[in-house]
Structure 1
Amino acid sequence: MTHILEMAPPEPPRVSMTARVRLDRAASDLWRVIDGTGLVIGHLQAVPEIGGTRYRARRYHAAAHAFRDLGDFWNADDAVEALRLGR
């Protein structure tokens, strides 16, 4: 009999209250970033690294029908800020 070890999905990243966003899980390591008006401004993806977890800021580009990475950050607040500023 084979047993499959299920890993718990990572906890949602902590973002400061000043970011004024909500994170909704989209996949086991991916969260939608929703602003105060209810608009999805992008996604945060947890990327495990040897030194800890980095957060990849991703935004959907409609013309390309694909996501574009805005960068990897050592904390979720910096990734959210990149999404807010549209970098």
Structure 2
Amino acid sequence: MPALVETRTSGPPTLQTRTRLRLIAASPSLWRVVEPDGRVIGHLQEVAQAGAIRFRARRYSPAAHAFRDLGDFWSADDAVECLVFAR
């Protein structure tokens, strides 16, 4: 477990590395990850695990007509980075 675990109370997490991407609220703990042109590349979901906050990267699979979890991450930046590279 990293030395600094992000704990939040409300609003979207702040992205440190991919500032061109935006997070748009879809529900209280779920955000759409959106390109500057408005294209949604996936979802970022906040998940409480072992008393800490983790971030789940989710991508829609048209073939399955469902979302596919790509993984849980300790930072929102890492989860979003996974969505970017999973294209």
Question: Does the alignment pair 1:50 with 2:50?
Answer: yes
Matched, 1:69 2:35: no
Look up the match of 2:60: 60
The aligned amino acid for 1:53 is I
Q: In terms of mean alpha carbon deviation, does 34-43 or 65-74 score higher? A: 34-43
State the identity as a percent: 59
Mean Cα displacement is larger for which, 71-80 or 47-56?
47-56
Structure 2, gaps ≥5 residues long: 1-8
Distance 1:21 1:65 in 2: 24
- The total of aligned residue pairs comes to 78
1:27 partnered with 2:27: yes
Summarize deviations over 1:5-40 as a string: whole Å, max 9, x none. Answer: xxxx73211111x41210000011100000122110
Further displaced range: 43-52 or 69-78:
43-52
- TM, length-normalised to structure 1: 0.82
Task: Let me know the Cα RMSD of the aligned residues.
Answer: 1.5
